[in-house]
Amino acid sequence: MSPADTHSPDASDAAQKPSRRRFLQSAAAAAAVTAAPLAHAQQQSAATPAVAPPPAAAPMMPVRLTINGHPYELQVEARTTLLDALREYAGLTGTKKGCDRGQCGACTVIVSGRRINSCLTLAVMHDGESVTTVEGLAPDGDTLAPIQKAFIEKDAFQCGYCTPGQLCSATALIAEYRAGDASAVTADVRARPPQLSDDEIRERMSGNICRCGAYPNIVAAVKAVASGNA
């Protein structure tokens, strides 16, 4: 075998192959360079709170209401709806929160003689006014109002969730009719109709939705009271 057939490492080959120590030194240096920005970011996040402190609570405002004949002085935020003031502050939970956007009528109450959706108005807007809820329709705790009796006799409710709003709306409807207020289907707006027709009642109660579908019986109950037959 000649010297040309054998290969033995020389000095140049040794120089091209990195040693184990040099490899470990290079890896350690690379890790240090990579960790430096992360450590700096962690120091910055530690210096700055991750969660901002909660905002200060909105100031409370006094609202004086006469609810079902009784005086109330409530301390509420300016953004509190009349519906929430009745339920959460006055403790009168008969008025129901349905859609909370004025579409279903479950929250209907009577304010100064006019029916309104209590979810669409602020309590502070009615300071000093009189409010009637479903709890105040009966003259006393033992005797039901005529409209309440008619709803029972005509089976004008099923689940009952919309019933408080239906009762308040029907009470105001009858008062509006007797005062001569016209509706969109009144033939002659200059004269009160001799009686409330089914179409008149449906139109005047159209803001109150009954998802159970008891509309025919609701119309019958309102008609009975308006005609004096209840």
Range 60-136: architecture per CATH: Roll (3.10)
pLDDT of residue 224: 96
User: pTM score, two decimals?
Assistant: 0.74
CATH 1.20.120.720 at 146-226, yes or no: no
Proportion of the chain above pLDDT 90, given as a percent: 65
> What does the alpha-carbon distance between residue 35 and residue 52 come to, in Å, rounded to a whole number?
28
pLDDT tens column, 129-141: 999 999 999 987 7
What value does the mean pLDDT take over residues 12-22? 59
Distance (Å) of CA 181 to CA 69, 174, 184: 25, 10, 10
Least confident of 26-35, 40-49, 117-126: 40-49
Listing from the earlier edge strand, what are the strands of the sheet with 130-132? 70-77, 60-67, 130-132, 108-111, 114-117
Indicate the DSSP class of residue 56.
P
Query: pLDDT-derived band of residue 23, with 50, 70 and 90 as boundaries?
Result: low
pLDDT of residue 189: 84
pLDDT of residue 193: 79
What value does the mean pLDDT take over residues 110-115? 96
Q: Is the pLDDT at 128 greater than 70, yes or no?
A: yes
Give the residue extent of every domain in the chain: 60-136, 146-226
**25 or 94, which is more confident:** 94
What value does the mean pLDDT take over residues 22-50? 59
> What does the alpha-carbon distance between residue 105 and residue 83 come to, in Å, rounded to a whole number?
12
130-132 and 108-111: which strand pairing? antiparallel
**Alpha-carbon dihedral angle through residues 123, 129, 132, 135, given to the nearest 10 degrees:** 70
The token pair at 136 is: 């105040």
Could you tell me if 169 and 177 are in contact, meaning their C-beta atoms sit under 8 angstroms apart?
A: no
Residue 147 class from Cβ within 10 Å (0-12 exposed, 13-18 middle, 19+ buried)?
buried
> What does the alpha-carbon distance between residue 56 and residue 101 come to, in Å, rounded to a whole number?
27
Q: Is the pLDDT at 116 greater than 70, yes or no?
A: yes
